[in-house]
Amino acid sequence: MSEQVSGPSLGMQILLQGEQSIYNCILADIATGKLISGDRLVTTHLASCYQTSINPVREALKQLEGEGFVTFQKNSGARVAAFEYATMREVFEILQLLEPYFLAWYAKHCSAESLARLDAIQAQLRSLNVNDSAGLRDLDTAFHWEMYRHHYNTSALRLWKNKKLILQALHGDLPVCQTRFSATIKEHDHLLYLLKAGDEESAVRALTKHVISGGDYWSSVITSQLSELSA
């Protein structure tokens, strides 16, 4: 297990709010770098860390194994797995379905107060250093959550938070290039403009494009990394 870091960021707090299962705790530790690829996952140690019994830890590890985050090896037990490209692709496909669904409702019901909060988050994004990839991911999560959190479908919201947490675990330590950094801010600006103008259909299209472009970017980054490793 790598060196412990400070408390969870704003984005991580959002993703874990009301979801303090052992599964989410382990996944969050992977996402924040407390647990890294190859680390042994000893059930008794994890149970002590999370102040629970062994059975919930075992169940969480089996679930994480099914999602490709944990591997069980003969004679060495459970370990944090290496990255699986297929997992990321599936997560992005789910987000591409969920996020326009949330925004279609938000565009009809957004309040002036909520739009002001989006403006405030966007102002923080613009003030970030272009090399602050963690800050971008953190505030991007907060920006999207402000739009989605008002939705009545709490089951769908829990699914969204789970998939975003999985994305953090998959590429939370990868840098964001300056082109994608700037594109994210511009895409948020355009979305905000459409929401304020009351153009619901265009806002949904803009968000869909934003989610797809993000997925395409990370797919290209990971594909490039895998090619380098296999070269």
What's the rounded mean pLDDT across residues 217-227?
77
- Is residue 184 exposed (0-12), middle (13-18) or buried (19+ Cβ within 10 Å)? buried
Q: pLDDT tens, 75-126?
A: 778 998 876 677 778 888 999 999 999 999 999 999 999 999 999 999 999 9
Q: pLDDT tens, 188-219?
A: 999 999 999 999 999 999 999 999 999 888 88
How confident is the model at residue 2, as a pLDDT? 41
Q: pLDDT tens, 50-72?
A: 999 999 999 999 988 887 789 99
Which residues of the chain does CATH 1.20.120.530 include?
A: 85-230
- Taking 60 as the threshold, does the pLDDT of residue 3 lie above it? no
Which residues of the chain does CATH 1.10.10.10 include?
A: 10-80
- Is residue 213 exposed (0-12), middle (13-18) or buried (19+ Cβ within 10 Å)? middle
Q: List, as one string, the DSSP characters of 21-81.
A: -HHHHHHHHHHTTSS-TT-B--HHHHHHHTTS-HHHHHHHHHHHHHTTSEEEETTTEEEEP
Are the CB atoms for 43 and 55 separated by under 8 Å? Answer: no
Q: List, as one string, the DSSP characters of 139-206.
A: HHHHHHHHHHTT-S-HHHHHHHHHHHHHHHHHHTTSPPPHHHHHHHHHHHHHHHHHHHHT-HHHHHHH
Rounded to whole angstroms, the Cα distance separating 74 from 59 reads 18
In 10 A of CB 148, how many CB atoms? 20
Rounded to whole angstroms, the Cα distance separating 64 from 59 reads 9
- Taking 70 as the threshold, does the pLDDT of residue 12 lie above it? yes
Rounded to whole angstroms, the Cα distance separating 58 from 112 reads 46
- Is residue 127 exposed (0-12), middle (13-18) or buried (19+ Cβ within 10 Å)? exposed
Query: Token match 């405030």: residue?
Result: 120
- The pLDDT confidence band at residue 128, using thresholds 50, 70 and 90, is very high
Q: Is the CATH code 1.10.10.10 the one for domain 10-80?
A: yes
- Is residue 116 exposed (0-12), middle (13-18) or buried (19+ Cβ within 10 Å)? exposed
Task: Name the token pair of 41.
Answer: 């996952």
Provide the CATH topology of domain 85-230.
Answer: Four Helix Bundle (Hemerythrin (Met), subunit A) (1.20.120)
